[in-house]
Structure 1
Amino acid sequence: MKHTIPAVALLALALAACTAERTPDDSAATPADTADAMAGDPAAPPPLDQPADDVPPATAPINQAPDLGQVRMDGYGDMRFGMTAEEATQAWGGELETAGDAADACYYLVPKWVTVPSDFAFMIEGGKFVRYDVGTGREIAPGGGKVGMDAGEIRDLYAGRVEETPHKYVEGGLYLRVDDANGGDGKLVFATGKDGKVTSWRVGLPPQVDYVEGCS
């Protein structure tokens, strides 16, 4: 016996086929559809064009001035030229050892972690803090100068403020004396070797900042 499919059943099958043809596949989904789908699924990864983590603030330009730390033309950190030795020690906030004889008119105070006093020390004369000396590249002088730079770089950094005199002990060496750009009493003095490279620098008040031999 031959069976026939009722007309109503044929109509239902045709409608189902049309609906399937009109349903978009995954590749045709819009960005909004994708975002909506992921919003409902916490485990879904973020879209490829979005960072997985928070974006940090823009960093400073690479040519910005260096961080000069504690150095100042009127002292170092909380220490100010003219303070008594006791006041300067208290302002330092750590242990300072005496290099030389504290009974002398001039001597140095040195942080405990310093092994060679000429690398970093604070000069005391007449009972007052008057100067500090640096002989390594660990510190950057006010204005950006440091050990290892050549005299030309120092002249450029402190253009119009550099006074040059011959080194007392090194043939071809120089002392490059720099005034405070803000008009203060402090002076910055760089010493260079015969190759023109900075070997040490110091900041202090005249006349002590010009003592070539320090407290010697």
Structure 2
Amino acid sequence: MRLQTLLIATLLAALCACSAQREEPDPAVPAVDADVPAAQAVDQPEQDVPPATASAEALGSLRVGAPAEGTITFAGFGPAAFGASPEAVRQAWGGDLGDEQPAEAGGCHYLIPQPLGSEGYRTAFMIEGDRFVRIDVRDASVTAPGGAKVGMTGDEVRALYQGRVEEQPHKYDPEGRVLRVTDADGGEAALVLELDADGLVDTWRIGVPPQVDYVEGCS
């Protein structure tokens, strides 16, 4: 009987010890306040971030400063061949060519890249008979087919187009010269370069006759 009583007392003591362990909080786990809502997920940075917007430089501009290298040829300007419509020239240029109209239907006039500089045009596209017939260039950065440029000497031009240069006196400058270069492929278009009194190219034009030989342009 005493043995049975001792076993029961031992069992009760063990049960009390287990109950006490379950009631003590684990010091390694912090208590959670039931009144505080759980934190929501955040997928944004802590600092303010400006909206992603494309800059003007990234978007580019429709304005075109000068003809791209190699676009002027004895055949025309890029996809706009001599003989093409004015609209074809506008599409080939891709920028503002002004709104000049001929004095009379089919008359001679120019499509000129805008805006004009203080010294007037640098590149101009002649239209006559409602057809593209000539390109006039004063821009030293633009290269003629074959390599000629404004600022070159007459001798440099002659060396570039050996056997194809016809030399003529200048109509208005007795000390100037005009060099007329034929198409190496036998086409009807010609390149005409005007030399000043110092023997330097100050302007050139390319196109089909008779318009390429108009000394005064559309005047």
AA matched with 1:210: D
TM-score, with normalisation over the residues of structure 2?
A: 0.64
Q: Partners in 1 of 2:156 and 2:113 — Cα distance?
A: 30
Alignment of 1:97-176 (within 5 A): 97-99=98-100, 101=102, 103=104, 105-115=107-117, 116-176=119-179
Alignment of 1:10-159 (within 5 A): 68-99=69-100, 101=102, 103=104, 105-115=107-117, 116-159=119-162
Q: Partners in 2 of 1:119 and 1:99 — Cα distance?
A: 16
Q: Partners in 2 of 1:142 and 1:90 — Cα distance?
A: 21
Gaps of 5+ in 2: 1-67
8 Å Cα contact 1:68-1:144 kept in structure 2: no
CA gap of 1:187–1:93, structure 2 versus 1, over 3 A, is same
Q: Partners in 1 of 2:91 and 2:203 — Cα distance?
A: 26
8 Å Cα contact 2:113-2:121 kept in structure 1: no
| Greater Cα offset, 151-160 or 110-119 | 110-119
1:112 shift after superposition? 1.9
SS of the aligned residue for 1:112 comes to coil
TM-score, with normalisation over the residues of structure 1?
A: 0.65
1:90 shift after superposition? 2.4
8 Å Cα contact 1:68-1:142 kept in structure 2: no
8 Å Cα contact 1:178-1:187 kept in structure 2: yes
| Greater Cα offset, 174-183 or 106-115 | 106-115
Tell me how large the CA RMSD over aligned residues is: 1.8
1:172 shift after superposition? 1.3
8 Å Cα contact 1:150-1:198 kept in structure 2: yes
Q: Among residues 194, 200, 212, which one is paired with 1:209 in the alignment?
A: 212
Identity %: 51
Q: Partners in 2 of 1:100 and 1:202 — Cα distance?
A: 21
Q: Partners in 2 of 1:70 and 1:125 — Cα distance?
A: 21
Higher radius of gyration, 1 or 2 = 2
Q: How many residues in Structure 1 have an aligned counterpart in Structure 2?
A: 150
8 Å Cα contact 2:112-2:121 kept in structure 1: no
1:212 shift after superposition? 0.4
Q: Partners in 2 of 1:114 and 1:177 — Cα distance?
A: 28
1:184 shift after superposition? 1.2
1:99 shift after superposition? 4.4
Gaps of 5+ in 1: 1-66
Q: Partners in 2 of 1:156 and 1:185 — Cα distance?
A: 22
SS of the aligned residue for 1:143 comes to coil
AA matched with 1:135: R
SS of the aligned residue for 2:180 comes to strand
CA gap of 1:160–1:179, structure 2 versus 1, over 3 A, is same
